[in-house]
A and B are shown apart, each in its own frame.
Chain A
Amino acid sequence: MFQSLRNPNDERVQLTVNGELIEAFVGQSVWSVMALNDQSITRRAALSAEARSAYCAMGVCFECMVEIDGFPNQQACLRRVSKGMVVTTQDITEMTEASDACV
């Protein structure tokens, strides 16, 4: 289980992770916030669709790719949270079809 050792009085922001409204400390990495909130599946592997999660936390494995504000392939360990950010587990496999055309 992941735990935070931060001072609980530190300033916080709200964001959404997989539809859940979550409070996070300002400046925290997106990955940390996911880990602390039991949302550790960052992406599905592209061929097998197996669940994957952050491995290196320093930007060199690309396992932590999530979708942030509609942009896929964002490294959760390198991105910092911001107010109103929307984070979702990335689910792009070789089979995924684009949703209907947007204008």
Chain B
Amino acid sequence: MPAFDCAIVGAGPAGMSAAIELAKRGARIAVLDRGRRAGGQIYRAVTDSPLPDTQVLGSDYTEGAALVAAFEQADATHFTQADVWHVGDDSRILFSRQGETHELHCREIVLCPGAMERPMPIPGWTLPGVMTAGSAQVMLKSDATVAEGAIFAGSGPLLYLIVAQYLRLGVPVAALVDTTPRSNYFDAAPMLPRALRRLPLLKKGLSLLREIRNAGVPFFRGASALQVLGDEHAIGLRFIAGGTSHEIGARTIFLHHGVQPNLNMTRAMDLEHQWNPEQLCWQVKSDAFGQTSVPHVSVAGDGAGIVGADGARAAGRLTALNILHRLGRLPRTDRDNAAAADLGALAAMAPFRAFIDRLYRPTKALRLPNVPTTLVCRCEEQSLAQLRAGFDQGARDPNALKMLTRCGMGPCQGRQCGHVLTELLSDWRGEPAEAVGYYRLRSPQRLLTLDELSRFHAVSAEAAE
């Protein structure tokens, strides 16, 4: 069966950039994404927005349209609405599309699954009405759906961005509850001089905060001890700020304190991972070209370690250059010459990224649950106290604890509890996260009906074209 030279999973900035570069030099490629259009998180629906006017979303968003257009013109087989549920290191990719399973083969694989938001296991975080700030943005971009009178709580640029977008659209916001601790400003200060080389980016961030403040939205800083109020549904948020306890009513509460790589695909492949102590998350081990511990598998973009959209574009192109070299289409010196600009750009971005990471580093009090009854595993409803009991019974490793408590066994397969568990066990054992490790993951990447699985077809590269 004719195979593709390369298959790319994920059509965000990383995947699209890789595809454009590969197609430009004649490689036969397949791009798979579960979305109906390319774009990824940041450029979601940028070419077919349901919003009457997309200017309010900002130029970082609208500028994505050019990349999507370039990608759509590139000579690549784009499988839209293709939900990839298995990627094997034997170069087989299985995906589900319109209720059927398809299998395709490829020489090289690039994984660009992007990021997800870091869970915030505060009391009440499983109540209906509690969502992530990213979800507010997804609903806005792809469905033009907004929540009026919501509270936004947490910290980080994405949180401020969505609040500003809401305000520009005239959507009332109940409050912005900022949890960035004062100490982060001191910790990040020494990194400021190097970050200043990216002055425009800094200015952009500051102007967002000014925009929010000027709009008169109640703005609380240094908030801690967050707790969602309500029995059947969220009705408000309680927190401490400025030394006093506050309670604000709202039926929608958006939480956010940063993003982390979407790990399940790279973990299920058993690629080597490492703990990133700055970003406090697991990431795939890879070289400057995104090549992983399995040479024919590369990673790019936020799925490989948080780099942001510009970083993702650069990483995607670099990955493509290396793969072209591996495919015999680009001599090493040409690869290296072509790569110089992006390598330089990534290096130049690093100090700013480091500054932002430090400034908005989520506090431990929000990364880890403090109340014994707070659920860590949402799917199997395992609380902090239940996990501790399992640990005390001798389950000291994520997999042993999973076997004992079912934590991480549910439909999300550890996406929500995995990082929390690594950090909890690291605390309890008094050992670094690296020594604790992570769940052993397997396919499928999402629930798959027997009906879908039983309709099994092979896709050949020729037929696809």
Contacts and interface: CB of A to CB of B under 8 A. Distances in A.
Any A–B CB pair closer than 8 Å = yes
Contacts of A46: 379-381, 410
B169 interface: yes
A58 B115 CA distance: 10
Contact of B51 (A5, A31, A59): A5
A67 B416 CA distance: 22
Interface string B31-69: 000101000010000000011100000000000000000
Interface residues of B, number: 48
A73 B444 CA distance: 14
Interface stretch (A15-23, A47-55, A95-103): A47-55
Contacts of A41: 128
B62 to A, nearest CB: 17
A1 B149 contact: yes
B143 A55 contact: no
Given A45-B381, A46-B381, A61 B146 contact: no
Contacts of A71: 449, 451
Interface stretch (B17-25, B130-138, B317-325): B130-138
Overall SS of chain A's interface: loop
A55 B132 contact: yes
A75 B34 CA distance: 13
A28 B36 CA distance: 12
Main secondary structure of the interface of B (DSSP, over half): loop
B126 A52 contact: yes
B146 A60 contact: no
B147 to A, nearest CB: 5
A60 B449 contact: no
A6 to B, nearest CB: 5
A57 B449 contact: no
Nearest to B171: A3
Contact of B146 (A3, A7, A48, A54): A3
Interface of B: 34, 36, 41, 50-52, 83, 116-117, 126, 128-132, 134-135, 138-140, 142-149, 169, 171, 232-233, 251-252, 262, 378-381, 410-412, 415-416, 446-447, 449, 451
Interface of A: 1-7, 10, 25, 27-29, 31-32, 35-36, 40-41, 45-48, 50-63, 65, 71, 73, 75, 77-78, 80
Given A1-B149, A52-B378, A56-B132, 10 more contacts: A2-B146, A6-B52, A29-B143, A56-B134, A57-B135, A60-B262, A60-B412, A61-B412, A73-B411, A80-B36
